[in-house]
């Protein structure tokens, strides 16, 4: 009886799965076109799955081993089950292989069940709680029905009752594993995830690469709505990416806004996008909600607005404005989903189409348009901080080895100290440098993160035109945000430069003994990785090398390097300032205090401002440039000053 029933079950499940898959593909294709390398993407998919994805999963060894056993066992078992039971290929060898893979999967599912016994908060519950049982049903069912095929037990063992029971178990397993994969069950992540890896919008990320710059919006098409106002305004492969989410909640665990009690949870946001692309309400979501926002009150559809002008739609605007664009979620996501891209796309719609950027954001944008800096200072006062420094200007000098990009920190008294220190170092190392002076404008980072792509592109194009008139080998800046934008976001608009963050440049100068330092005589020091230097640009070593070269003993925080926690200063978050239960910089300062360090070295004006804004007593906050400059052995002046006063002839 099983012999007749199994092929029917398997073929029926497969056929239904194919129907579901077609429906799902249709849902994704409602998104806007986005060209992908179709065949090469498909071909490189297994490698992306086995290497790049596994690399991220393996940060949690328990679940990576569990996943290898379960998923590996399942893939082999599923293929063999289709061949052996679906098409009735009578091969003892294959049957034994099938038994082995089913067993492997069963062992894996035991560990899944163990993780699910007392699941951490970040994991979604609901249908996900039945997944270990379904995995067991499939593996155990396949194992048992294959025993006769392998000749272990006689084919006619048991009666019709046993056969019916077994069929039921297998049907449950098939239902979850085959149907659930394409009809929206927990196993959807395998199907959508595989295709997402194949058609990822940032294929550069695979194979150890990096792609972090936001993608430019085409402003020439006057008719197309700007940004993502409806789920179908996303690119189709973005929608596919949302569907790949496995709800592991790693993003939630690292999100600074979520930890601060602001109404953002990256996992819920991605699930809301899935609700939007498929239509319905968020009542079916079983994970942690946005802090302070109950689940079940929001709904959406592919053609419905994500953010309503009035009332509730799919997502509330404060959720989108809570993000600091620190990219911790993207870094942690095993499915390599691009949360920040999606958030900025929706912010673009809010700013460019609805014009309802929260209050301070509007002011910042208007200042950027009128004065080229976010605070509305006169553009002629950009060089005031350096009135006594006699800095060489590019407009006078024409060319220099290094262009020192001052950034908007030039208007900020705290950052002016960093800039002065950096100038002191450059001079000590005899670097041939110049500044753009008042010709420099805001890089556009803030405008872009506020969703104002038009102002960003206007600033960027004017900066690129200014830079085209200057001759230099590289740009050095002490602002990681400017660094990132100049390095990674200007090339798309026609400006490609060699850009260094000052920590990289100073590390290089020190490695070449371009200046001397006295050893550091203070206590222990810790280092805070700026998001836009670390996760965005992969520079973790240079700042630490500088500190070590100064003779410092760097104590690492629990969350450092790629796991570094944001200071709360990025992505226009301080401008919009969505209220939460705690402040992000307070949490970061707590991390710093835990190390017992008396001083925290930073490399970003935003981080400096945010961390220094924490209530004292707290460790001192110093930029790397300040630390180096303070320990600089000033080179002997080239012309020794005469010891006595110059004689002055007094005429009467």
Q: How many CA atoms lie within 13 A of 99 on its CB side?
A: 16
Nearer to other proteins, 362 or 555 (CB): 362
- For residue 202, give the 3-state DSSP assignment: coil
One of 127, 261, 376, 522 touching other proteins (CB under 8 A): 376
Helix axes 236-243, 2-28, angle to 10 degrees: 140
Q: In 10 A of CB 220, how many CB atoms?
A: 6
Whole-number Å distance between alpha carbons of 225 and 233: 8
Nearer to other proteins, 37 or 356 (CB): 356
Residue span 217-256 as binding mask against other proteins, x where in contact by CB under 8 A, dash where not: --x--xx-xx------------------------------
Nearer to other proteins, 44 or 371 (CB): 371
Nearer to other proteins, 445 or 453 (CB): 453
Q: In 10 A of CB 50, how many CB atoms?
A: 12
| Alpha-carbon Rg for the chain in angstroms | 29
Using CB under 8 A as the binding rule, whether residue 364 contacts other proteins is answered as: no
Using CB under 8 A as the binding rule, whether residue 373 contacts other proteins is answered as: no
Rounded (5°) CA angle 453-335-126: 110
477 touches 502 (CB < 8 A): yes
Q: How far is the CB of 651 from other proteins (least distance, A)?
A: 41
Whole-number Å distance between alpha carbons of 184 and 221: 35
Looking at the DSSP assignment, which residues form a beta bridge with residue 404? 435, 476
- For residue 489, give the 3-state DSSP assignment: helix
Nearer to other proteins, 366 or 594 (CB): 366
Nearer to other proteins, 232 or 452 (CB): 452
Using CB under 8 A as the binding rule, whether residue 194 contacts other proteins is answered as: no
Tell me which stretch binds other proteins (CB under 8 A): 263-271, 351-359, 432-440, 603-611.
Answer: 351-359
Using CB under 8 A as the binding rule, whether residue 379 contacts other proteins is answered as: yes
Nearer to other proteins, 282 or 345 (CB): 345
Nearer to other proteins, 290 or 321 (CB): 321
Residue 415 falls in which region: left (phi positive, over 0), alpha (psi -120 to 50) or beta: alpha
* C-alpha distance across the termini of the chain, in Å: 128
Kindly give, in sequence order, each residue whose CB lies less than 8 Å from that of residue 630, ignoring residues fewer than 6 positions away.
421
Q: How far is the CB of 609 from other proteins (least distance, A)?
A: 24
One of 68, 354, 464, 493 touching other proteins (CB under 8 A): 354
Tell me which stretch binds other proteins (CB under 8 A): 176-184, 349-357, 484-492, 565-573.
Answer: 349-357
Nearest to 184 by CA among 108, 245, 248: 245
One of 25, 194, 301, 362 touching other proteins (CB under 8 A): 362
Using CB under 8 A as the binding rule, whether residue 302 contacts other proteins is answered as: no
One of 124, 351, 415, 631 touching other proteins (CB under 8 A): 351
Whole-number Å distance between alpha carbons of 650 and 652: 6
Using CB under 8 A as the binding rule, whether residue 155 contacts other proteins is answered as: no
Using CB under 8 A as the binding rule, whether residue 365 contacts other proteins is answered as: yes
Using CB under 8 A as the binding rule, whether residue 134 contacts other proteins is answered as: no
Kindly give, in sequence order, each residue whose CB lies less than 8 Å from that of residue 636, ignoring residues fewer than 6 positions away.
none
Q: How far is the CB of 456 from other proteins (least distance, A)?
A: 11
Looking at the DSSP assignment, which residues form a beta bridge with residue 602? 623
Using CB under 8 A as the binding rule, whether residue 454 contacts other proteins is answered as: yes
One of 18, 370, 465, 511 touching other proteins (CB under 8 A): 370
613 touches 396 (CB < 8 A): no
Q: What is the dihedral of CA 287, 289, 290, 292, to 10 degrees?
A: -160
Residue span 308-337 as binding mask against other proteins, x where in contact by CB under 8 A, dash where not: -x----------------------------
Nearer to other proteins, 238 or 351 (CB): 351
What single string gives the DSSP state of each residue in 632-650?
Answer: EEPPPPSSPPPSSPPP-PP
Whole-number Å distance between alpha carbons of 146 and 86: 12
Q: How many residues bind other proteins (CB under 8 A)?
A: 25
Nearer to other proteins, 152 or 356 (CB): 356
Kindly give, in sequence order, each residue whose CB lies less than 8 Å from that of residue 612, ignoring residues fewer than 6 positions away.
414, 621
H-run or E-run covering 341: helix 339-349
Using CB under 8 A as the binding rule, whether residue 461 contacts other proteins is answered as: no
Tell me which stretch binds other proteins (CB under 8 A): 186-194, 285-293, 348-356, 436-444.
Answer: 348-356
Residue span 413-452 as binding mask against other proteins, x where in contact by CB under 8 A, dash where not: ---------------------------------------x
Q: Strand locations in 254-330, DSSP E? A: 280-281, 299-300
Tell me which stretch binds other proteins (CB under 8 A): 88-96, 158-166, 352-360, 550-558.
Answer: 352-360
Q: How far is the CB of 280 from other proteins (least distance, A)?
A: 26
425 touches 633 (CB < 8 A): no
Using CB under 8 A as the binding rule, whether residue 408 contacts other proteins is answered as: no
Looking at the DSSP assignment, which residues form a beta bridge with residue 393? 435
Tell me which stretch binds other proteins (CB under 8 A): 162-170, 291-299, 345-353, 636-644.
Answer: 345-353
One of 163, 174, 352, 421 touching other proteins (CB under 8 A): 352
Nearer to other proteins, 324 or 371 (CB): 371
Nearer to other proteins, 353 or 471 (CB): 353
Nearer to other proteins, 63 or 578 (CB): 578
- Both tokens assigned to 502: 């000052």
Tell me which stretch binds other proteins (CB under 8 A): 34-42, 202-210, 353-361, 516-524.
Answer: 353-361
Nearer to other proteins, 182 or 357 (CB): 357
466 touches 436 (CB < 8 A): yes
Rounded (5°) CA angle 6-190-120: 110
Strand order in the sheet with 471-477: 433-435, 399-405, 471-477, 499-501
Whole-number Å distance between alpha carbons of 485 and 502: 15
Kindly give, in sequence order, each residue whose CB lies less than 8 Å from that of residue 120, ignoring residues fewer than 6 positions away.
249
Nearer to other proteins, 75 or 224 (CB): 224
Q: How far is the CB of 288 from other proteins (least distance, A)?
A: 33
Tell me which stretch binds other proteins (CB under 8 A): 41-49, 330-338, 357-365, 582-590.
Answer: 357-365
Using CB under 8 A as the binding rule, whether residue 465 contacts other proteins is answered as: no
Nearer to other proteins, 378 or 498 (CB): 378
Q: How many CA atoms lie within 13 A of 78 on its CB side?
A: 17
Using CB under 8 A as the binding rule, whether residue 640 contacts other proteins is answered as: no
Kindly give, in sequence order, each residue whose CB lies less than 8 Å from that of residue 542, ignoring residues fewer than 6 positions away.
501, 503, 504, 506, 507, 508
Using CB under 8 A as the binding rule, whether residue 271 contacts other proteins is answered as: no
- The DSSP code for 352 is I
Binding residues for other proteins (CB under 8 A): 219, 222-223, 225-226, 309, 351-357, 362, 365-366, 369-371, 376, 378-379, 452-454
């Amino acid at each position: 009886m099983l012999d007749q029933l199994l092929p029917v079950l398997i073929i029926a499940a497969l056929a239904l799965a194919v129907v579901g898959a077609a429906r799902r593909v249709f849902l994704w294709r409602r998104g806007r076109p986005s060209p992908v390398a179709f065949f090469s993407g498909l071909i490189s998919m297994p490698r992306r799955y086995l290497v790049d994805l596994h690399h991220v999963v393996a940060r949690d060894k328990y679940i990576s081993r569990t996943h290898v056993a379960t998923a590996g066992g399942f893939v082999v078992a599923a293929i063999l089950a289709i061949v052996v039971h679906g098409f009735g290929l009578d091969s003892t060898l294959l049957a034994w292989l099938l038994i082995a893979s089913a067993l492997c999967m069963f062992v894996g599912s035991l560990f899944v069940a163990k993780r699910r016994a007392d699941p951490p908060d970040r994991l979604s519950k609901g249908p996900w709680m039945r997944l270990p049982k379904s995995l067991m049903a499939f593996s155990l069912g396949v194992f048992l029905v294959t025993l006769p095929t392998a000749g272990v037990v006689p084919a006619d063992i048991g009666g019709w009752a046993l056969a019916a029971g077994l069929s039921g178990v297998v049907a449950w397993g098939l239902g979850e594993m085959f149907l659930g994969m394409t009809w929206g069950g927990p196993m959807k992540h395998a199907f959508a995830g595989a295709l997402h890896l194949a058609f990822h919008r940032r294929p550069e990320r695979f194979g150890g690469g990096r792609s972090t710059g936001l993608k430019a919006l085409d402003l020439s098409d006057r008719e197309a709505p700007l940004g993502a106002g409806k789920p179908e305004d996303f690119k189709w492969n973005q929608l596919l990416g949302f569907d790949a989410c496995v709800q592991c909640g790693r993003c939630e665990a690292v999100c600074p806004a979520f930890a601060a009690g602001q109404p953002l949870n990256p996992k819920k946001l991605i699930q809301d996008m899935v609700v939007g692309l498929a239509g319905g309400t968020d009542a079916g979501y079983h994970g942690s909600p946005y802090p302070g926002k109950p689940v079940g009150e929001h709904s959406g559809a592919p053609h419905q607005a994500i953010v309503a002008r009035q009332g509730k739609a799919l997502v509330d605007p404060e959720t989108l404005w809570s993000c600091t664009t620190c990219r911790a979620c993207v870094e942690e996501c095993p499915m390599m989903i691009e949360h920040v891209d999606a958030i900025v796309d929706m912010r673009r719609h809010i700013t460019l189409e609805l014009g309802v950027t929260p209050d301070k954001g509007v002011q910042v944008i208007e200042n950027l348009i009128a004065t080229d800096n976010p605070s509305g200072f006169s553009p002629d006062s950009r060089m005031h901080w350096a009135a006594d420094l006699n800095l060489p200007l590019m407009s006078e000098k024409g060319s220099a080895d290094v262009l020192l990009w001052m950034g908007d920190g030039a208007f900020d008294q705290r950052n002016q100290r960093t800039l002065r220190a950096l100038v002191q170092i450059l001079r000590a190392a005899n670097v041939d440098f110049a500044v753009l002076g008042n010709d420099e404008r805001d890089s556009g980072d803030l405008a872009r993160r506020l969703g104002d792509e038009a102002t960003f592109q206007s600033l960027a194009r004017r900066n690129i035109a200014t830079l085209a008139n200057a001759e230099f080998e590289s740009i050095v800046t002490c602002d990681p945000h400017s660094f990132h934008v100049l390095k990674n976001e200007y090339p798309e608009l026609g400006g490609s430069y060699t850009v260094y963050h000052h920590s990289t440049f100073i590390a290089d100068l020190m490695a070449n003994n371009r200046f001397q330092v006295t050893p550091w005589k203070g206590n222990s020091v810790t280092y805070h990785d700026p998001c836009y230097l670390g996760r965005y640009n992969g520079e973790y070593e240079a700042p630490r090398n500088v500190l070590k070269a100064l003779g410092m003993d760097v104590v690492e925080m629990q969350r450092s390097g790629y796991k570094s926690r944001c200071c709360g200063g990025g992505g226009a978050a301080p401008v919009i300032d969505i209220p939460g239960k705690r402040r992000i910089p307070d949490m970061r300062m707590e991390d710093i205090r835990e190390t017992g360090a008396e001083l925290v070295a930073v490399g970003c004006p935003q981080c400096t401002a945010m961390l220094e804004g924490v209530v004292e007593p707290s460790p001192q906050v110093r930029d790397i440039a300040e630390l180096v400059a303070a320990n600089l052995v000033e080179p002997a002046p080239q012309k020794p000053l005469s010891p006595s006063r110059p004689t002055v002839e007094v005429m009467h």
